[in-house]
Structure 1
Amino acid sequence: MTINETLSRYSDLSYGTAFVVYLLALILFCAQLASVRTESLKLTVPVGVSAGPVPPAFDARVPGRIVESPPRSMSDRLGNMGLSLVVVAFVFHLGALVLRGVATQRVPWGNMYEFVTLTCAAAVLAGLILLRRPDLRTLWVFALIPVLILMFVAGTVLYANAAPVVPALQSYWLPIHVSIVSIGSGVFLISGVSSMLFLLRLRFAHSSVDSKLGTWMRRLPEAHVLDRLAYKTTIFAFPLFGAGVVLGAIWAEAAWGRFWGWDPKETVSFIAWVIYAAYLHARATSGWRDTRAAWINIAGFVAMLFNLFIINMVVSGLHSYAGLN
């Protein structure tokens, strides 16, 4: 199989561009988060004084008279600019995957570098869908930080030159199994971050202790909003990840002659799936819906990260296809 080195270099360039633009978007979202409290203080109305209704587009008192809409706040403008940069970066991100696939003439998730790239793209896409509301855009700060960390690790430690996959991965199951698992993992990233922020929001929302962390946490959406976001994303990702595990077992039977062999990757994937099942059960059980369920969700997220890195890079097994030199 011939590798197109030119397209491979363009893929790497697109990947680096996406990383830089994501970083710029993170800076804008940090500025947005920092401006929330300042603007709320400016707009505070003294006790006993009515702020009045928002001016309508047309003044009802004078027919035909148009009243100008109030200007957008600095927080809104920063959020809109940050979201625009995320969209641009996502296009470059997808471009890196497409160019890598065309350069290698295969699906671009045959090693750890490509798998993490696809997982991060899935996480960003989930964010574009779930965090599109203006009141949720401050959460982009905490969604982009793990994405940038993963992309940095993938582009440095996990990077592999464009090349054909090993014979064991040359199967039609590769694009099906790996894509489903990576998409589920990317959505789980949003879920895990939401549960972490939910616990921090509860901890500092009504705390009398004044701290920088508490100040930042009080600028986030309400705790119940974060908890609902974590729950909705898990509901979506859980069946995807479960389907990925089942399809992986079918592939294992075709490749190795058995559906399940308790390989380290299979075992930890099953453990993570069970933890997320426990979270969904706890979330629907009275007495477990708040902090206890959130801790279970975080445990599932940790298991996912352990499965993604430690199992692939450290533990030897049948799934050791990291592509590392």
Structure 2
Amino acid sequence: MTPTLATVSPALAGNANLALYASMIVYTLAMLMFAWHLAARTALLPGSRAVEREEALITAGAQTSSEAGSRRTYAAGPALEESAASVQRGNIALTLTYLATALLVASVVLRGIAVARPPWGNMFEFATASAAAVGLVYSVLAKRNNWQWLGVFVVTPILLLLGLSLAVLYTEAGELMPALRSYWLAIHVGVAFLAVAFFTIGAAIGILYLVRLRREEKPPAKPNFIESLPASAALERTAYSLNMVAFILWTFTLIAGAIWAKEAWGAYWQWDPKEVWTFVIWTVYAAYMHGRATAGVDLRKSMYIALAGFACVIINFTLVNLVSTFVGMHNYSGMN
């Protein structure tokens, strides 16, 4: 059912906003705990001040053998073995992320119930739903893969996106634009923000890969949190896997958008800026996939292509929706 002003529930929309605020508070706590967890991992690295102090105590005989045995070692390549305190902080941070994501999903669902439609009819709704998708994807993968080390690099962008949504993109709950009144809204846009979630996490790991690789090539005098991350080769493989899933989802998004365009406008392709940039994103990531699969191609250069693709994703969401030069038939930001 397409909502009218009479069917929009201001009370439910208000509750959706409260859940959004609550999720931001809990995400902030999770971010701080993830940062503390990363600091604890860093303190376990050989050459860190904490390890140097501990070695001095061991030398002086001021530490028992059981305490000494709790020390973990780290070398480039294997995953860092953590102390019990570090593991506990990571698990607490992950639990907070679960709670924050549940609150954010509740906000998106309440918004949808309030307007009696899929809750992604404007930029504010798409941004909050995309942030929820990032949180969900990370939450599902983090526990299975022990990705607590990644948490601060995922939760921070989520918080930034939610802050931007409230400060700049906020749109009151209201009617759906006529062009969006189709079952394709749930299919096309729903898969799109799921793809963006995988792209986002893949980009975060891709950036960490490039930094980690550089520090492996030129080891620093003193380690920092970068040395507590998995080896660059492992980071690169993980980013590739995430980008592959995202690319498949984006391919479906592109095809579904063309089918919807035929239904709504009478043609599969209109050279609308949104259509063009959706195809640009697909093309850049296709180039990345091809380069990554080609023997002898520098993986670092391939990752730069992937990050260029993510930059196109950001342009597609921001400039193409907000700058009048780009706005075409997809003028659905809700801010005009």
Contact kept in structure 2, 1:28 and 1:81, CA below 8 Å: yes
| Uncovered stretches (5+) of structure 1, i.e. residues with no partner | 56-70
- 1:149-195 deviation digits (Å, cap 9, x = unpaired): 11111122001011111111111111111001111011100011111
Q: Hey, what does 2:11 align to over in structure 1?
A: 6
Contact kept in structure 2, 1:185 and 1:237, CA below 8 Å: yes
SS of the equivalent of 1:259 reads coil
| Uncovered stretches (5+) of structure 2, i.e. residues with no partner | 60-64, 71-81
Mapping for residues 127-166 of structure 1, pairs under 5 Å: 127-133=138-144, 135-166=146-177
Q: Hey, what does 1:68 align to over in structure 2?
A: none
SS of the equivalent of 2:149 reads helix
Deviation at 1:210, TM superposition (A): 4.1
Out of 297, 316, 319, which is 1:307 matched to? 316
- 1:187-240 deviation digits (Å, cap 9, x = unpaired): 1000111111100001113424447xx622112111112111111111111111
Out of 210, 224, 228, which is 1:199 matched to? 210
Deviation at 1:134, TM superposition (A): 6.7
Matched to 1:258, the amino acid is A
Q: Hey, what does 1:320 align to over in structure 2?
A: 331
Matched to 1:35, the amino acid is A
Q: Hey, what does 2:27 align to over in structure 1?
A: 22
Deviation at 1:12, TM superposition (A): 0.2
Distance in 2 separating the partners of 1:97 and 1:208: 45
Out of 283, 296, 321, which is 1:287 matched to? 296
Distance in 2 separating the partners of 1:275 and 1:96: 33
Q: Hey, what does 2:129 align to over in structure 1?
A: 118
Give me the CA root mean square deviation.
Answer: 2.2
Out of 106, 110, 115, which is 1:99 matched to? 110
- Runs (4 or more) in structure 1 with deviation over 2 Å come to 39-46, 133-136, 205-211
Q: 1:257 to 1:134 in 2, by over 3 A?
A: closer
Q: Hey, what does 1:275 align to over in structure 2?
A: 284
Contact kept in structure 2, 1:192 and 1:298, CA below 8 Å: yes
Deviation at 1:136, TM superposition (A): 2.5
Q: Percent identity?
A: 36
Q: Hey, what does 1:234 align to over in structure 2?
A: 243
Distance in 2 separating the partners of 1:144 and 1:217: 17
- 1:38-75 deviation digits (Å, cap 9, x = unpaired): 234548799xxx99xx99xxxxxxxxxxxxxxx96221
Contact kept in structure 2, 1:205 and 1:217, CA below 8 Å: no
Distance in 2 separating the partners of 1:206 and 1:219: 16
Matched to 1:169, the amino acid is L
Higher relative contact order (CA 8 A, sep 6+): 2
Out of 29, 32, 35, which is 2:40 matched to? 35
Contact kept in structure 2, 1:191 and 1:231, CA below 8 Å: yes
Contact kept in structure 2, 1:180 and 1:241, CA below 8 Å: yes
Q: TM-score, normalised by structure 1?
A: 0.88
SS of the equivalent of 1:107 reads coil
Deviation at 1:262, TM superposition (A): 1.2
Q: TM-score, normalised by structure 2?
A: 0.85
Corresponding pairs, count: 303
